Structure 1
Amino acid sequence: MLEIFLKTLPFFLVIATGWIAGKTRFFPAVATAWLTKFVFYFALSAMLFRFAATLDVDRLFDLRFVLAYLTGSLALWALAFGVAKWRDLPLDQAAMEAHVAMTGNTGFLGVPMLVALLGPLAVGPVLMVLTIDMMVFSTLITLLITMARQGRVRLATLWPLLRGIVANPMIVSMVAGLVWAKLHLPMPAPLDEYLALLGASATPGALFAIGASLAERSAERLGPALWLSLAKLVLHPLAVAVAALLVFDVEPFAAGVMIAAASLPVAGNVYILSQHFGVAAHRVSAAILISTAASIATVPAVIHWITKG
């Protein structure tokens, strides 16, 4: 356990460095926004393309893996939604809390950390989790909030949503890399070195940006935020583990990567979504802050459990 904790500690120390820089205003909010944009559009995209271009596409898609992650995540989503409705929250707030409870920071934290800790074979499962989160659950929250606000879902609402998914640089880079791999195209040495150099900045840049953005978060609405953090860090990996190991019998290593991805703290982009819709922004902000801080202890525990079989 101590060995795993020490391996994950550098990742969280970079996050802490970003938080200190943001909290002291040495790294202002505008700088965080531009760093996040650089990581999102350039560094992380280069990393994802390079990872995807090396995969065996024919062996990537595993229906049992997809069904296991969807089943476990939807079970937790339903639980969080039910708890929110039990507290008499309106549909849009209940949907947002359910989204918070199962949306992890897979892109900025999970991809670099889990691949570094679990090895290159973790690339495929991590990318599958990231794709499902973006394609399924981001669509679900948008549709439910739109339905809550307008009473129905119109085609005019779906088009911007689909356009946003298609134009997402993480989706574009992964699809481009998979097409490259499927066509068995050679990777010229200068291109590979360029992608490696640019992609290498994704890990420190993303972690620093996470920390700096946390400096802007407030810890209000602690009761709901603590519940949502518990759901994300403990109940989500537990639900996914049950689905993967006991129901769908997913291959052990892939199941372990899936569980580790489910154990990640709440994603920062959920706050952007909550601000965009004007739904539960303080609750979401506090859940991101609390879950990220607590994950320093919970993520190593989950990875220790996975790596020890």
Structure 2
Amino acid sequence: MLAIFLKTLPFFALIGLGYWAGRSRFFSAEATACLTKFVFFFALSAMLFRFSANLSLAEVWDSRLVIAYLWGTGFVYGIVSFVGFLRGLDVATNAVEAQSAVIGNTGFLGVPMLTLLLGPEAIGPVLLVLAIDLVVFSSLFVILIAGARDGQISLRLLRSIGLGLIGNPMIVAISLGFLWSGLALPLPDPVNEFTAILGGAATPGALFAIGASLATKSAERLQIAGWLSFCKLVLHPLFVACGALLLFGVEPYKAGVIIATAALPVAGNVYMLAQHYRVAPQRVSAAILVSTALSIVSVSLIIGWVTGV
């Protein structure tokens, strides 16, 4: 456990450094937004393209893994939605809380950290989880909120969701990478080196950006934030583990990777969606802050468990 904690500590130290920079105003909100945009559209996209271009989709795809992750995530989504229903929440707010409970910071934190801690073989399962989160659950979130407001699911809504997916640089980078791989063409050395250099900025840039953005988050609604953090850091990996190890027989190493991915704290893009649709952004903000702070210990425990350390 101590060995894993010491390995994860530098990642969270970078988040802490970013938090200090944002909190002290050394790094302004505008600078944080620019850094986040650079990482999102350039550095992280280059890393994801390079990873996927050097893999084949056949190597990455695992039906059992996909079903296990969908089952575990869907189960927690249902639990949070049911509790929200009992609390009298409207559909939109319920969707925000359910999204917070199952969508982890896979892009900015999971991709760089888990591939280093669990080995390069982890990238395939991590990419699958990232794709499921972006395509399935982000689309579900938009459908629930827009459907609740309009009272129906329209073709315009589905078109908007499709355009949003096509415009997401992470989805584009992964898709282009697998397309390149599918053509059985090796990456030219200059392209490989360019994406390696640019992608190398993703890890420190993403972690620093996470911390700097956390400095702008409020800690209101701590009771709700505590509940959502418990669901994200405990229930989500627990149910994914049940699905992967007990129900669907996922290969142990891959199961460990998706369990660790499920244990990541609440993703910042949930806050962006909540803010965009003007639905409970404060409670998402608090959940991100609390879950990220608690994950310093919880992620180490989960990784220590799945690796047997």
- 1:179 positional shift: 1.1
Whole-Å separation in 2 of the counterparts to 1:38 and 1:298 = 29
Match of 1:72 in 2: 72
Match of 2:18 in 1: 18
* Aligned ranges 1:262-281 → 2 under 5 Å: 262-281=262-281
**What is the aligned-residue RMSD (CA, Å)?**
0.8
Amino acid at match of 2:29: A
- 1:56 positional shift: 2.9
* Aligned ranges 1:29-178 → 2 under 5 Å: 29-178=29-178
- 1:57 positional shift: 2.2
Match of 1:246 in 2: 246
1:154-193 Cα deviation digits (max 9, x unpaired): 1111211110101111011101111111111122222111
Whole-Å separation in 2 of the counterparts to 1:60 and 1:106 = 17
SS in 2 for 1:26: coil
- 1:95 positional shift: 1.2
- 1:117 positional shift: 0.4
Count of aligned pairs between the two proteins: 309
Amino acid at match of 2:173: S
Amino acid at match of 1:70: L
Match of 1:28 in 2: 28
Match of 1:282 in 2: 282
Whole-Å separation in 2 of the counterparts to 1:276 and 1:169 = 18
SS in 2 for 1:206: helix
Whole-Å separation in 2 of the counterparts to 1:69 and 1:308 = 21
Whole-Å separation in 1 of the counterparts to 2:210 and 2:57 = 31
1:195-216 Cα deviation digits (max 9, x unpaired): 1100000000000000000000
Whole-Å separation in 2 of the counterparts to 1:164 and 1:296 = 32
Whole-Å separation in 1 of the counterparts to 2:219 and 2:111 = 27
Q: Which ranges of structure 1 fall in alignment gaps of 5 or more residues?
A: none
Between 52-61 and 33-42, the greater mean CA deviation after superposition: 52-61
Amino acid at match of 2:257: V
Whole-Å separation in 1 of the counterparts to 2:299 and 2:209 = 19
Amino acid at match of 1:51: F
1:264-289 Cα deviation digits (max 9, x unpaired): 00001111111111111111000000
Whole-Å separation in 2 of the counterparts to 1:94 and 1:41 = 30
Moved over 3 A (4+): none
Whole-Å separation in 2 of the counterparts to 1:62 and 1:101 = 24
Amino acid at match of 1:203: T
Amino acid at match of 1:55: L
- 1:55 positional shift: 1.0
Whole-Å separation in 1 of the counterparts to 2:98 and 2:107 = 19
- 1:136 positional shift: 0.2
Whole-Å separation in 2 of the counterparts to 1:16 and 1:58 = 38
- 1:125 positional shift: 0.2
- 1:5 positional shift: 0.2
Whole-Å separation in 1 of the counterparts to 2:301 and 2:137 = 26
Whole-Å separation in 2 of the counterparts to 1:191 and 1:276 = 36
Whole-Å separation in 1 of the counterparts to 2:170 and 2:281 = 25
TM-score by length of 1: 0.99
SS in 2 for 1:68: helix
Whole-Å separation in 1 of the counterparts to 2:59 and 2:216 = 42
Match of 1:201 in 2: 201
SS in 2 for 1:219: coil
Whole-Å separation in 1 of the counterparts to 2:267 and 2:86 = 25
Whole-Å separation in 1 of the counterparts to 2:251 and 2:305 = 16
TM-score by length of 2: 0.99
